[in-house]
Chains A and B, each alone.
Chain A
Amino acid sequence: MSDESKRREESAGLMEYSVENLVPFGPIHPALKEPEYFKLILEGEKIVQVIPRIGYVHRGLEKAAEQRPWMQNMYMFERTCGICSFVHSLCYGQAVEELTVFQVPRRAKFIRLIVAELERIHSHLLWVGLMGHWAGFETLFMWVWNDRELVLDIVEAISGNRVHKSMNTLCGVRRDMPEGMEDRIVERMKYIVDRAHYYREIIDTEETMLARTEKVGNKISQETAQKLCAVGPMARFVGLRQDVRLNDPYAAYDEVPFDLVTRTEGDVRSLLRLRLDELIVSANMISYAVKHLPDGPFRVRIPNIIPAGEHSSHCEAPRGEIFYYVKSNGGKIPDRVKSRQPTMANIPAALELLKGQNLADLPMVLTAIDPCFGCMDRMSFFDTESHRQWAWSGEQLRQYGIKHYFPDRISAAPALKIGEAH
């Protein structure tokens, strides 16, 4: 082991692998005893410990689900997250549908696949844009989000909405695919694929992106990713062939050809490449699905009483595996609904990625896991060297990172130094 990596091992107090039982989570630093925000302990510039505190978006949906009818819950769970809303309602729907005797019509499965993949494209484009924004490359952000609008046009034409599509219902979809959309969708998907190739080239050659993503992030092994139960791109970027669409196909994924994308480099840049490649695969799947859309009904009406039983379902959201468990006592309202968002599954892996990294790399690494919560809005820090405590907004953290990498760049607001709060 080189001197540098040995020093990193020693300074990264968070991830002390105790040899006997390989538990990576060490004891809590005293300054973190009463965490108020997503709190970080630093040693000078190096991140030593991070405690996640995701109470900012905790609203109490699982409890509310026990008091609302089955169908209403679908639209409530959709609003767990604005970016992957369709796949939340899909996963919940699938878990409930299996408790009934009714089958989802084949046409509905194809439409579900199309909307789910459109959501994946919009989510990945959103994320690439955000990575550009956090890196200090505003142009990339503007261009990518502009292309994303074209995808949202298709989503709106199919479902009537841009964000919360409300396309799903129990045992089907609420709307049929509009007439004559096929050519438009195929053409637009071709355009998106071209743009994705272009962005691929940018992230491989452009100076800002290279500086901020190449070899950034503590490299984790496949074994570590599996131990930490990482899902989605966080598992695939170290080479694991883990994708619910491949391992346990749902909707129409067993009928539409699908290429799994994996990478092995294990740094932030490989996540960028991976998501852009996935986007291309998704666009091709959508083109295939609209050309082979089967005829038939798009929904089956079912009674509002769901037979007793328990069932779970999982889907591949843009961020990783999403998991729902439902339990019915044979009534109009559920007994228990458990929903597990993909970001929560990836937090332990994210903490491992942050091990020994510079504060300036924190925004890129955290954004790289594609977080689904507003926790980047505010973070508090404690420096064990200077004993200073301070808090920054997400924007201040972003400016700090950009200033660290590009000290000559002029910015509207001056970046703060470590220890300074505004």
Chain B
Amino acid sequence: MFERLTNWSRKRSPWVYHINASSCNGCDIELVATLTPRYDIERFGAVLVPSPRHADVLMVTGVVNAQTKDRLRQVYEQMPEPKHVIAIGACAASGGVFKGCYNAGQGVQDVVPVDMFIPGCPPRPEAIMYGVLKLLGEVK
């Protein structure tokens, strides 16, 4: 019963850590826009935290180049269980427009397991919110 309670409170208030893994900043600014009054993801309880050790959900943007790959892996390992990963944008899903570039990955799933992809270049704030809420089971 205690577990159901913690699950319920986790879903009601996901603590999110955001990492920019070689992103052009497009997805990041749309993600930050979800915090602003017009979209206001905080009314769903989502809060950005300063350290992965406090986070339930990891939001990754960017194409993950050789320099950020280890950092992403490290951050994922620092997160306590249970944890979820959301890959935002086309670059995080497949490398996007940079697929084939000499220092570009092919998607975040090569580095950490991903629970939700939110496609777009960049996805609109509404799309990001939809993805986060769907992951949390708020949207059927």
**Residues of A in contact with B (beta carbons under 8 Å apart):** 55-61, 63-64, 75-76, 79-83, 85, 126, 141-142, 145-146, 149, 162-164, 372-374, 377-378, 393, 395-396, 399, 413, 422
Q: How far is the CA of A59 from the CA of B100 in the complex (A)?
A: 10
Q: Are A58 and B65 in contact (CB under 8 A)?
A: yes
If A59-B63, A142-B36 touch, whether A75 touches B97 (CB-CB below 8 Å) is yes
Q: Is the CB of A79 within 8 A of B24?
A: yes
- Check if A82 sits within 8 Å of B27, measured CB to CB: yes
Cβ–Cβ < 8 Å partners of A372 in chain B:
25
A-B contact pairs, 11 of them (CB 8 A): A55-B67, A57-B22, A59-B63, A61-B101, A79-B26, A83-B25, A83-B29, A145-B32, A374-B22, A374-B62, A399-B50
0 or 1 for each of B94-137: is its CB under 8 Å from A? (1 = yes): 00111011111000000000000000011010000000000000
Knowing A56-B67, A64-B98, the reply to whether A374 touches B121 (Cβ < 8 A) is: no
Q: Which residue from chain A places its CB closest to the CB of B61 in the assembled complex?
A: A374
| B51 close to A393 (CB less than 8 A) | yes
Interface pair A56/B24, CB less than 8 Å apart? no
Minimum CB distance partner of B68 in chain A: A56
Interface residues of B (CB under 8 A from A): 19-20, 22-30, 32-33, 36-38, 48-51, 53-54, 62-63, 65, 67-68, 71, 96-98, 100-104, 121-122, 124
Check B124–A393 contact: CB distance below 8 A.
no
Other-chain residue from A57, A377, A413 in contact with B24 (beta carbon distance below 8 A):
A57
Nearest 8 CB-CB pairings of A with B: A82-B26, A395-B50, A374-B20, A60-B102, A60-B101, A145-B36, A82-B25, A60-B103
A68 to chain B, nearest CB (A): 9
Beta-carbon nearest neighbor of B23 in chain A: A374
When C-beta atoms are compared, the residue in chain B nearest to A84 turns out to be B25
Given the known inter-chain contacts A64-B98, A82-B122, please indicate yes or no for A57 contacting B23, CB distance below 8 A. Answer: yes
Residues of chain A within 8 A (CB-CB) of B23 are 57, 82, 374
Q: Is the CB of A374 within 8 A of B28?
A: yes
- Partner of B36 from A56, A82, A146, A413 at Cβ < 8 Å: A146
Once the chains are docked, how many angstroms separate the CA of A82 from the CA of B33?
13
Does A63 lie within 8 Å of B102, measured CB to CB? yes
In the complex the two chains form, is B29's CB within 8 Å of A126's CB?
yes
B30 touches A59 (CB 8 A): no
Which A residues are CB-close (under 8 A) to B121? 79, 164
Contact check: which of A57, A64, A378, A396 meets B71 at CB < 8 Å?
A: A378
A64 touches B51 (CB 8 A): no
* 19 new A-B contacts at CB < 8 Å, known A59-B65, A82-B122, A145-B33: A56-B20, A57-B23, A57-B65, A60-B101, A60-B104, A63-B102, A64-B101, A64-B102, A75-B97, A79-B96, A79-B121, A83-B26, A145-B32, A146-B37, A149-B33, A374-B28, A395-B51, A396-B51, A413-B49
In whole angstroms, what is the CA distance A283 to B24 when docked?
Answer: 26
Question: Which residues from A are CB-within-8-Å of B102?
Answer: 60, 63-64
Q: Which residues of A contact B20 (CB under 8 A)?
A: 56, 374, 377
For residue A11, give the distance in angstroms from its CB to the closest CB of chain B: 30
Bound state CA distance, A63 and B103, in angstroms?
A: 10
Shortest B29–chain A CB gap in Å is: 6
List A contacts of B25 (CB < 8 A): 81-83, 372-374
Cβ contacts under 8 Å, A82 to chain B: 23-29, 122
- B50 and A396 form a contact (CB under 8 A): yes
> Given the interface contacts A56-B65, A378-B71, does A85 sit within 8 Å of B26 by beta carbon?
yes
Residues of B within 8 A of A422 (CB): 51, 53
Known: A56-B68, A59-B63. A76 touches B122 (CB 8 A): no
Contacts of A142 in B (CB 8 A): 36-37
Chain B residues lying within 8 Å of A80, measured Cβ to Cβ, are 24
